């Protein structure tokens, strides 16, 4: 028999024994499917947790001016005027800075704000449009500060939900209304979604206006209070910190880093938590993959061992009728490969479907990586082929009469 | 195969012994057995269970090799061949008929009969033609597309006979061919043996039933691993007897 004929014969044998073939394919489908589904769910959860950590600002660097100096008296950190808008713009264009995604210069000031008869003391931030991205600000209505607002120094404001409660009637839509800050009138163009009062600063009680407007009308100074820098990922935080630091030292013409007139902060504790969570997830995923590969592999091994052992008499008969050892081994190998390919494809679809449904139910991101597919197909497929081939080889080695007598 | 070639030797067995070793214990299954069978003969090998007749059949069928002695089949020294060469001998020179039929389950009669030709590398079209011919010879022309499990025991054994003769082998080896068949169907099977014998096939049949052995021209009696008697069957059964005459085994 040539190979082509053996492939045809193998398909015939497989279709003739539908139950046996079905069970073998089911074993492989479950084996491969469960590995893919489990790894995919694990990766989805990992991604979700990482996203949540990211939103806490794990990849944020904050650059603040150094100590304010009046004579020999040192003021508070961050009180200095050494950071300028040009510094921030330079950071976003400097070619030596490769690990930074976004740069957002910020000025802030507490101001008395009025709207009609209401008045409140609120934090006013002068910002760039990038601020919303970096600090994960979403709007419940209206829009955020735009580049053209910035260029035209427009008197527009985006206000937090707490500010809305402080200044307006409960059910009024503040967009389009006017507020007065430091005696000047601003038009409300958006309301931010509530973030809850996390940290030291109530994120909902802030008024955002264009940075240029803030510098001109409120602070009257070209210096800025801080620069938020978003690193490309939390893995490159250290590099980003170094790059930003050296770029600013160079701009400020300071040779000795200990004499720097600015400081860079990162959320070190969040970062530490993030990396330990990532580490835990990596080991969890390896564990899941190992266990599911083991379970799937044993399932496949069992079904292949059983189906081939069950056919020992058939092997004896085929040998008695003149099949050579190699012919028999080749036939079983071809059958195993067909079963594994079929089961593998169905298993992939099955695993992907299961993890898709579960990720929707558990509301975690749906991810399937090539590596998990290759891993499961490689290991389970290998096991399927080896345990289809090995017992067939053993049976083909038997004297035909022993195989024929096999019960 | 014309009948006048009957004097040509097809099987030559010389001083064949088979010793099984289980742990420390040696069991002699065959003890220096010698005989020859000529082309076209219909021989029965008889003996009680444990006599060594099955061992002899396995050696004759190239399914097993003797511990000592030589076995020549159709001019080839079978006792010295390798595993794959034995497979080739079985394929080309021996047709097997087993007590348990040993057909492939859920496979058509035609496909079962085609199987040995597949291993011989015969083209598919020729296989189908020859398999259909062989099935016609055993009276199953109208059953060629039936699955083996849809056939009665007697019909299954006839498919097995068709599979045995389809390669036109030097000998046809039947091991208790009626052992698993209802007695009325056993007669049909024996009738087919007579038919293919008349067509020139050499048949060697192992049985422990005297009235089945009585169908053969010559009976070899095996007892305790030795050939004890080699007789011409003078009262050879020429007719198919009524089932009630036969003792079923």
A405-to-A221, A395, A399, B53 alpha-carbon distances in Å: 99, 12, 10, 16
Answer whether residue A198 shows pLDDT above 70: no
Could you give the ipTM of this predicted complex? Answer: 0.87
Q: What is the percent of chain A with per-residue pLDDT over 70, rounded to a whole number?
A: 94
Are B90 and A320 an interchain contact pair (Cβ–Cβ within 8 Å)?
yes
- Tell me, what's the pLDDT at B69? 93
Q: Which residue of A has its CA nearest to B82?
A: A324
Same structural domain, A253 and A283: no
- Tell me the domain boundaries of chain B: 40-65+82-238
- Tell me, what's the pLDDT at A78? 54
pLDDT confidence tier of residue B173, bands split at 50, 70 and 90? very high
If contacts are CB pairs under 8 Å, which of residues 178-207 in chain B contact chain A? none
Same structural domain, A37 and A178: no
- Strand pairing report for B94-97 and B171-175: parallel
Answer whether residue B246 shows pLDDT above 50: no
Tokens found for residue A3: 């190979």
Burial status of residue B78 (CB atoms within 10 A of its CB: 0-12, 13-18, 19 or more): buried
Residue A313 forms contact with B (CB below 8 Å): yes
- Tell me, what's the pLDDT at A77? 53
Same structural domain, A229 and A291: no
- Tell me, what's the pLDDT at A69? 52
Of B102, B118, B163, the CB nearest to A404: B102
Boundary residue ending a domain (A219, A248, A266): A266
Same structural domain, A93 and A238: yes
- Tell me, what's the pLDDT at B164? 94
Same structural domain, A338 and A366: yes
Residue B63 forms contact with A (CB below 8 Å): yes
Of B90, B107, B111, the CB nearest to A321: B90
pLDDT confidence tier of residue B237, bands split at 50, 70 and 90? low
Same structural domain, A156 and A68: yes
Are B63 and A401 an interchain contact pair (Cβ–Cβ within 8 Å)?
yes
Global confidence as pTM: 0.67
pLDDT tens per residue across span A229-258 = 988 887 788 888 888 888 888 888 888 888
Residue B67 forms contact with A (CB below 8 Å): no
Same structural domain, A115 and A37: no
Give chain A positions within 8 Å (CB) of B63: 320, 399-401, 404
Alpha helices in A117-259 (DSSP H): 130-134, 147-151, 161-167, 211-213, 237-251
Of B90, B96, B118, the CB nearest to A1: B118
Residue B104 forms contact with A (CB below 8 Å): yes
Same structural domain, A33 and A159: no
Give chain B positions within 8 Å (CB) of A330: none
- Tell me, what's the pLDDT at B240? 45
Alpha-carbon distance of B100 to A244, in angstroms, equals 86
Give chain B positions within 8 Å (CB) of A9: 118
- Tell me, what's the pLDDT at B168? 93
Answer whether residue A46 shows pLDDT above 90: no
The mean pLDDT of chain A is 84
Boundary residue ending a domain (A266, A290, A315): A266
| Angle (nearest 5°) at CA B126 between B120 and B128 | 100
- Tell me, what's the pLDDT at A363? 83
Same structural domain, A92 and A47: no
- A·B CB contacts under 8 A: 61
Compute the CA torsion angle A149, A151, A155, A159 (nearest 10 deg). 40
Residue B143 forms contact with A (CB below 8 Å): no
Residue B119 forms contact with A (CB below 8 Å): yes
pLDDT tens per residue across span A62-83 = 888 876 555 555 555 555 678 8
Tokens found for residue A290: 């190992």
Lowest-pLDDT choice from A230-234, A328-332, B46-50: A230-234
Answer whether residue B4 shows pLDDT above 50: no
Number of domains in chain A: 2
pLDDT tens per residue across span A358-398 = 888 888 888 888 888 888 888 888 888 888 888 888 878 88
> Hey, of B102, B105, B162, B206, which one would you mutate to test binding to chain A, going by the most A CBs within 10 A of its CB?
B102
Burial status of residue B33 (CB atoms within 10 A of its CB: 0-12, 13-18, 19 or more): buried
pLDDT confidence tier of residue B11, bands split at 50, 70 and 90? very high
Residue A16 forms contact with B (CB below 8 Å): yes
> Hey, of A12, A19, A320, A399, which one would you mutate to test binding to chain B, going by the most B CBs within 10 A of its CB?
A320
Better pLDDT: A190 or B248: A190
pLDDT confidence tier of residue A172, bands split at 50, 70 and 90? confident
Lowest-pLDDT choice from A169-173, A388-392, B215-219: A169-173
- Tell me, what's the pLDDT at A407? 64
Q: Which of A28-37, A117-126, A272-281 has the largest mean confidence?
A: A117-126
- Tell me, what's the pLDDT at B242? 45
Give the Cβ contact number of residue B82 at 10 Å: 8
Better pLDDT: A119 or A78: A119
Same structural domain, A365 and A390: yes
Are B72 and B11 spatial neighbours (Cβ–Cβ below 8 Å)?
A: yes
Give chain A positions within 8 Å (CB) of B61: 320
Are A177 and A188 spatial neighbours (Cβ–Cβ below 8 Å)?
A: yes
Tokens found for residue A127: 């910002």
Residue B121 forms contact with A (CB below 8 Å): yes
Boundary residue ending a domain (A266, A299, A320): A266
> Hey, of A313, A322, A325, A403, which one would you mutate to test binding to chain B, going by the most B CBs within 10 A of its CB?
A322
- Tell me, what's the pLDDT at A371? 84
Answer whether residue A214 shows pLDDT above 80: yes
pLDDT confidence tier of residue B18, bands split at 50, 70 and 90? very high
pLDDT confidence tier of residue B166, bands split at 50, 70 and 90? very high
Are B104 and A314 an interchain contact pair (Cβ–Cβ within 8 Å)?
yes
Q: Could you list the residue range(s) of the whole structural domain that residue A167 is in?
A: 60-266
Mean pLDDT for A143-163 is 91
Give chain B positions within 8 Å (CB) of A322: 87-88, 90-92, 116, 119-120
Are A104 and A130 spatial neighbours (Cβ–Cβ below 8 Å)?
A: yes
Answer whether residue A185 shows pLDDT above 60: yes
Answer whether residue A303 shows pLDDT above 70: yes
Same structural domain, A259 and A122: yes
- Tell me, what's the pLDDT at B3? 45
Mean pLDDT for A280-308 is 81
CATH of B40-65+82-238, one of 3.40.50.300, 2.60.40.10, 3.40.1280.10, 1.10.1060.10: 3.40.50.300
Mean pLDDT for A79-105 is 84
Residue B168 forms contact with A (CB below 8 Å): no
Same structural domain, A116 and A255: yes
Answer whether residue B5 shows pLDDT above 80: no
- Tell me, what's the pLDDT at B14? 94
Alpha-carbon distance of A49 to A207, in angstroms, equals 30
Answer whether residue B238 shows pLDDT above 70: no
Residue B1 forms contact with A (CB below 8 Å): no
Give chain A positions within 8 Å (CB) of B118: 1, 5, 9
Are B84 and A324 an interchain contact pair (Cβ–Cβ within 8 Å)?
yes
- Tell me, what's the pLDDT at B40? 93
């Amino acid at each position: 028999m040539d190979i082509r004929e053996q492939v045809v014969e193998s398909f015939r044998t497989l279709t003739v024994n539908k139950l046996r073939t079905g069970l073998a394919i089911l074993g492989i489908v479950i084996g491969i499917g469960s590995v893919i589904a489990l790894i995919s769910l694990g990766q989805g959860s990992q991604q979700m947790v990482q996203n949540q950590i990211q939103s806490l600002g794990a990849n944020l660097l904050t650059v603040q001016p150094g100590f304010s100096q009046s004579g020999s008296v040192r003021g508070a950190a961050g009180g200095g005027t050494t950071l300028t808008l040009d510094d921030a713009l330079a950071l976003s264009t400097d070619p030596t800075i490769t690990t930074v995604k976004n740069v957002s210069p910020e000025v802030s000031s507490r101001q008395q704000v009025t709207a009609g008869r209401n008045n409140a003391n609120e934090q006013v931030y002068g910002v760039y449009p990038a601020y919303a991205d970096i600090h994960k600000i979403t709007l419940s209505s209206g829009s955020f500060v735009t580049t053209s607002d910035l260029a035209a120094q427009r008197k527009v404001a985006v206000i937090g939900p707490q500010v809305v409660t402080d200044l307006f009637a409960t059910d009024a839509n503040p967009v389009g209304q006017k507020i007065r800050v430091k005696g000047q009138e601003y038009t409300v163009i958006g309301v931010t979604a509530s973030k809850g009062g996390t940290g030291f600063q109530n994120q909902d009680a802030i008024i955002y206006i264009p940075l240029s407007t803030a510098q001109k009308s409120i602070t009257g100074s070209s210096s800025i209070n801080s620069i938020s820098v978003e690193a490309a990922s939390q893995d490159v935080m250290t590099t980003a910190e170094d790059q930003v630091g050296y770029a600013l030292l160079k701009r400020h013409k300071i040779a000795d880093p200990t004499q720097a007139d600015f400081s860079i902060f990162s959320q070190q504790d969040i970062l530490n938590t993030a990396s330990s969570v990532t580490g835990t997830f990596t080991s969890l995923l390896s564990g899941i993959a190992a266990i599911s590969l083991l379970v799937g592999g044993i399932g496949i091994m069992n079904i292949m061992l059983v189906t081939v052992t069950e056919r020992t008499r058939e092997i004896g008969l085929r040998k008695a009728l003149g099949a050579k050892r190699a012919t028999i081994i080749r036939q079983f190998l071809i059958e195993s490969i067909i079963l594994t390919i079929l089961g593998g494809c169905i298993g992939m679809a099955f695993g992907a479907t299961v993890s898709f449904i579960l990720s929707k139910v558990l509301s975690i991101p749906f991810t399937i990586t090539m590596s998990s597919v290759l891993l499961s197909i490689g290991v389970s497929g290998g096991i399927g082929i080896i345990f289809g081939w090995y017992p067939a080889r053993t049976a083909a080695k038997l004297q035909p009469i022993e195989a024929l007598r096999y019960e | 195969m014309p009948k006048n070639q009957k004097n040509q030797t097809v099987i030559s067995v010389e001083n064949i012994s088979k010793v099984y070793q289980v742990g420390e214990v040696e069991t002699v299954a065959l003890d220096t057995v010698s005989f020859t069978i000529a082309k076209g003969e219909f021989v029965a090998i008889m003996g009680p269970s444990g006599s060594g007749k099955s061992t002899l059949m396995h050696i004759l069928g190239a399914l097993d090799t003797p511990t000592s002695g030589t076995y020549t089949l159709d001019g080839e020294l079978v006792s010295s061949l390798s595993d794959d060469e034995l497979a080739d001998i079985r394929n080309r020179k021996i047709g097997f008929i087993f007590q348990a039929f040993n057909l492939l389950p859920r496979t058509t009669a035609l496909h079962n009969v085609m199987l040995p030709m597949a291993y011989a590398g015969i083209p598919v079209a020729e296989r189908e033609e020859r398999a259909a011919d062989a099935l016609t010879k055993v009276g199953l022309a109208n059953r060629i597309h039936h699955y083996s499990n849809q056939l009665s025991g007697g019909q299954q054994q006839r498919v097995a006979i068709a599979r045995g003769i389809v390669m036109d082998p030097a000998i046809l080896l039947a091991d208790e061919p009626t052992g698993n068949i209802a007695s009325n169907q056993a007669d049909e099977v024996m009738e087919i043996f007579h038919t293919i014998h008349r067509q020139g096939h050499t048949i060697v049949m192992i049985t422990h039933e005297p009235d089945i052995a009585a169908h053969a021209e010559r009976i070899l009696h095996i007892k305790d691993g030795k050939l004890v008697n080699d007789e011409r069957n003078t009262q050879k059964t020429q007719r198919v007897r009524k089932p009630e005459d036969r003792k079923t085994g």
